[in-house]
Structure 1
Amino acid sequence: MSEAVPSLDDAVAALTADRNAFAWTRRAQFVRDAALLLSPGQTAPSSASALLRLLAGDTKWEVRKEVADALHVLPDSDFAPLAAQLTADENAFVKGSAERAVERRRRGQNTEAKRRRGLDKVEDDLARLEKSQGIKIARLARDVAQRMYEGLVGASVHEMRSVATAMKSNIEQLVRSGGTDAALTQRLAGRMTTHVGYLERLLDDMRLYTQAPSRERRTERIADLVNEAVNMVREEFAARGCDASSVQFSAEVPLDLTVGVSRVQIVLAFRNLVKNAFEAHAIDANRFRAGEIRLVARALRGEWIEVEIADDGMGFSALELEEVRRFVPGRTSKQLSGTGFGLPIARRNIAAHGGSINIDSVENEGTRVTVLLPIEGREETLW
């Protein structure tokens, strides 16, 4: 019998009538040909998937293994049933190949999900906005997003360039000295360590700001969230050699006060707000003048949690406060070691829970930050 078959359509027809119409080696080759057609970027005929469905039950394990190897390229409608069938195959080689293909598919889906949460998702959202609200609104939204992006990148590049310039200057001084002056070498090394530490904090904050918010919500005690946030601030100051003992911190948080949140995100938001309150008393990068910070949490109307953080630090002028209330990332305020991402990260995380942040301040008197969070966990959505 001649095995010359011009197309997969003919192969499917022949194999449907007789599973042994072709030698098993030819059947295995058909599977490989179909897999190539099903690969991303190819236009596959329906017979490609039909052939894999047909040969997934082939009598030869070598053919079934070829199908198992091709599982990851199958469309969703065919993947699940064939994956279930082949991961339960009696042949260990077939089963192993199927399990690896399933894992490969899972990794690919995770990678795609991450990609879709990035710039591609922005484009999708803009397309949906244009469809529902019209092209003018969509163009306005695109322009606003572009300006925000340019501002974020521009501010971050400016900060990193400033650090790089300072480090370059220190290195040049060190080279000129030839390393013979121990005191100078130690001083310059200390400066460079400080610059590197700042750069690390900046990059960490940029990463946190661009991470997709978690959708997980669990009931947490406000007191636990606040305690964890304050401990994080104290540990960070200690690691940097900062003595913040001159600033007295007090908290009034009922132990039965709970809220539905993503713990990590809200702890991070509180950490940034408490850290800002401490740094409002900064004399320089490592010293603080005497002062007080008072945190009070309460329930409002049984629907909201209000957390107020008040300090008697340097405060903001009217113009500075207007700028701070914009929550634009990368714009540093009076904090001497801040990256400009603390407040934007806090606001972003709280807004993702359906909450809000309000800031009031008087220069040379202090600042009060008021956070509102819904008691029942919510997720802010646009659509």
Structure 2
Amino acid sequence: MKRVGFFQTVQWKVVILYLLLILIAMQVIGAYFIRTAESYYVNNFTETLNTQANLLAMNIEKYLEVDTVPREDVDNLIRNLFVLRNADVQLLDQNGIVLTTTEENKSFIGQKNTRAEVNMALLGTRSESVQYNPETHQRVKVLALPIKKGTKILGALYLVASMEEMYQTMSQINKILATGTGIALLLTAALGIVLARTITTPVKEITRQATAMANGDFNGSVRVYSEDEIGQLGQTFNLLTSRLRQAIAQNEAEKEKLASILTHMSDGVIATDGDYNVMLINRPAQRLLGVDYKTTIGRSLYEVLSIPEDQEEGDSFFQPAAPVIVDMNVEGEERLIRFSFNMLKSHEADRKPGIIAVLQDVTEQEELERVRQEFVANVSHELRTPLTTLKSYLEALEEGAMHDPAIAGQFLQVLLSETDRMTRLVSDLLQLSRYDARQQLLDIRPVDVSQLLYDVRERFRIRIRQERIDLNLELPGKGLPFVRADRDAVIQVLDNLLSNAMKYSNENTTVTVRATQEDSMVRIEVADEGVGIRQRDLTRIFERFYRVDKARSRSMGGTGLGLSIARQIVLAHGGTIEITSEWQKGTKVSFTLPIEEEREHEAT
């Protein structure tokens, strides 16, 4: 904030205003008073001079009627009747000759006074004027008064009275008035400063607090000095500060709440201005798009989403209609992102509204939807095939085949086989369903892996001979620790893996079962030398009902759920399962099981 100069402050303006008001008032009053006093003194002086001159003329009249004027008597008369100080009186006869004078210079006696005022008085005309005496440098009142007896002019009185005493009195009055004006101005300035401070001090307090509020500090308050309007203004300002502090605190809380929601919500959020420049992007959106916050803020949404910057196409793409699913390459991985757009309204009518984009990664959802559709289709297909067979054979039996013992026996064997197939399918589905719902109860106990593998080999001994396949069991010489597992569930996994290995192996090949210890896990591998699996099928090998060779799998009685069940069993034990394969060279499936800690300590 710009600093206010001293002479620009309200306090100084109030003092100057009061001083000017007092000065103008004193000047007006002083001018009127001086004019009135001067007029009064001049009139009083003139009236006194005229009165005394008339009185003197009346009393001297009898002395001028005689031929010889008694000078001493006239001088005594003048001294006794004329009381004005600093006034000179000349008595002249009808010819203008000075008979006597009160002036110190007596040389004028006997000489003729030729002044115009005297001549006019000898002609019978009274004359008076204010003149400047060049000798004394004083203003004087000149009065020439005829002395008459009826119409006869006997002589004249010539009076010259100094007015300096009167003007000195006026000067003293002016000095007193000026002094009073100065004192009044000083008192007014002091009172003005006090009064201005009573006004400006609260205003300064409010200004200081307003400046602090402008800088973001809402913790201060204004000191209230009085209960008048300014005090009420201070109280109102304090109330405003308190309300603003509460509003800002509430706004900050809402802002933090919104930031927390945006940060922790699973969906991505992007906010733009009217020009589609990014103003806000939360972490899920950064993760979904593979971008950084600092490099994204301020960039165009077209650039962030890698959309061609076509205004018409962009406006149609960003319209708040149905959600749009876009296939995007995020850090080298293809992801399906669903965008939902909404308009971000602006309070300013001339500004274009921005948009809010909500991002959701629907890759897994779409994949689950695809798997679900395939699952439903596969289940329908797997059930329809045996049901069709059952229906056909039952219809044949109903039409008379049941009366032929040989044919009826064959048909019943087929019906039993298809029924077993359906039973196995339903059992597998129920088992997968229980694992998905985490309702499958495992009987976890210490299991001797070596003994378990020996038992499994014995179970497959006859089948190995029939299919002319060798089964090789490789175990470490120091033995294996016990694992924490459900023995029957692990046997089911091994049965499934060994069955698959034998199905897809040729005669005179070897299936190898290998077990090793890796840290706190035991790894079991089943490797064959069969046809192998193509790389495009490996990513989907554990999907339900997925078959690499569908015709061959169905002909061998497989349901397509074996590997899915094996994977769920291994994951339920806290282990992992992996598969590697080379086409026409063989396949290796390995899974891990956790070691029983107590048994491990006993072994060491």
Q: TM class by shorter-chain length?
A: 0.5 to 0.7
Structure 1: distance between partners of 2:451 and 2:380: 37
User: What's the secondary structure of 1:260's corresponding residue?
Assistant: strand
User: What's the secondary structure of 2:470's corresponding residue?
Assistant: strand
* The one of 264, 269, 276 aligned to 2:493: 269
Deviation, structure 1 residue 249: 1.6
Structure 1: distance between partners of 2:432 and 2:407: 38
Aligned residue in 2 for 1:358: 578
8 A Cα contact 1:357 1:370, kept in partner? yes
8 A Cα contact 1:298 1:305, kept in partner? yes
* The one of 550, 557, 564 aligned to 1:337: 557
Deviation, structure 1 residue 342: 0.7
User: What's the secondary structure of 2:402's corresponding residue?
Assistant: coil
* The one of 246, 265, 273 aligned to 2:468: 246
User: What's the secondary structure of 1:314's corresponding residue?
Assistant: coil
- Equivalent AA in structure 1 for residue 503 of structure 2: E
Equivalence map 1:187-202=2 (5 Å): 187-202=410-425
Deviation, structure 1 residue 137: 5.7
Tell me: CA distance 1:362–1:203, structure 2 relative to 1, closer, same or farther (3 Å). Answer: same
Equivalence map 1:199-348=2 (5 Å): 199-211=422-434, 212=438, 213-214=440-441, 217-230=444-457, 244=466, 246-254=468-476, 255-281=479-505, 289-300=507-518, 302-324=519-541, 327-334=542-549, 335=553, 336-348=556-568
Tell me: CA distance 1:182–1:359, structure 2 relative to 1, closer, same or farther (3 Å). Answer: same
- Equivalent AA in structure 1 for residue 473 of structure 2: A
Structure 2: distance between partners of 1:226 and 1:339: 25
8 A Cα contact 1:229 1:268, kept in partner? no
8 A Cα contact 2:402 2:408, kept in partner? yes
Structure 2: distance between partners of 1:352 and 1:340: 20
- Equivalent AA in structure 2 for residue 264 of structure 1: D
Deviation, structure 1 residue 206: 1.1
> Which 4+ residue blocks in structure 1 deviate beyond 6 angstroms?
none
* The one of 383, 391, 395 aligned to 1:172: 395
Aligned residue in 2 for 1:158: 381
Deviation, structure 1 residue 367: 1.6
User: What's the secondary structure of 1:190's corresponding residue?
Assistant: helix
* The one of 355, 371, 376 aligned to 2:591: 371
- Equivalent AA in structure 2 for residue 251 of structure 1: L
Structure 2: distance between partners of 1:205 and 1:260: 24
Tell me: CA distance 1:244–1:332, structure 2 relative to 1, closer, same or farther (3 Å). Answer: farther
Structure 2: distance between partners of 1:273 and 1:132: 42
Unaligned stretches of 5+ residues in structure 1 = 1-129, 283-288, 378-383
User: What's the secondary structure of 1:297's corresponding residue?
Assistant: strand
Deviations 1:17-71 (A, max 9, x none): xxxxxxxxxxxxxxxxxxxxxxxxxxxxxxxxxxxxxxxxxxxxxxxxxxxxxxx
Aligned residue in 2 for 1:50: none
Structure 2: distance between partners of 1:294 and 1:216: 28
Structure 2: distance between partners of 1:219 and 1:137: 44
Q: How many residues align?
A: 234
Deviation, structure 1 residue 274: 1.6
Tell me: CA distance 1:144–1:278, structure 2 relative to 1, closer, same or farther (3 Å). Answer: same
> Structure 1 residues 311-320 or 202-211, which shifts more?
311-320
Structure 1: distance between partners of 2:265 and 2:570: 27
Structure 1: distance between partners of 2:448 and 2:558: 29
8 A Cα contact 1:222 1:253, kept in partner? no
8 A Cα contact 1:356 1:371, kept in partner? yes
Tell me: CA distance 1:277–1:349, structure 2 relative to 1, closer, same or farther (3 Å). Answer: same
Structure 1: distance between partners of 2:465 and 2:410: 20
User: What's the secondary structure of 2:411's corresponding residue?
Assistant: helix
8 A Cα contact 1:360 1:367, kept in partner? yes
> Structure 1 residues 346-355 or 259-268, which shifts more?
259-268
Tell me: CA distance 1:132–1:374, structure 2 relative to 1, closer, same or farther (3 Å). Answer: farther
Higher RCO, 1 or 2 (CA under 8 Å, sep at least 6)?
Answer: 1
Structure 2: distance between partners of 1:231 and 1:142: 44
User: What's the secondary structure of 1:329's corresponding residue?
Assistant: coil
8 A Cα contact 2:449 2:483, kept in partner? yes
- Bigger Rg, structure 1 or 2: 2
Higher relative strand content: 2
Structure 1: distance between partners of 2:483 and 2:371: 31
Tell me: CA distance 1:174–1:243, structure 2 relative to 1, closer, same or farther (3 Å). Answer: farther
Structure 2: distance between partners of 1:376 and 1:152: 37
Structure 1: distance between partners of 2:504 and 2:473: 18
8 A Cα contact 1:214 1:262, kept in partner? no
Unaligned stretches of 5+ residues in structure 2 = 1-261, 268-358, 598-604
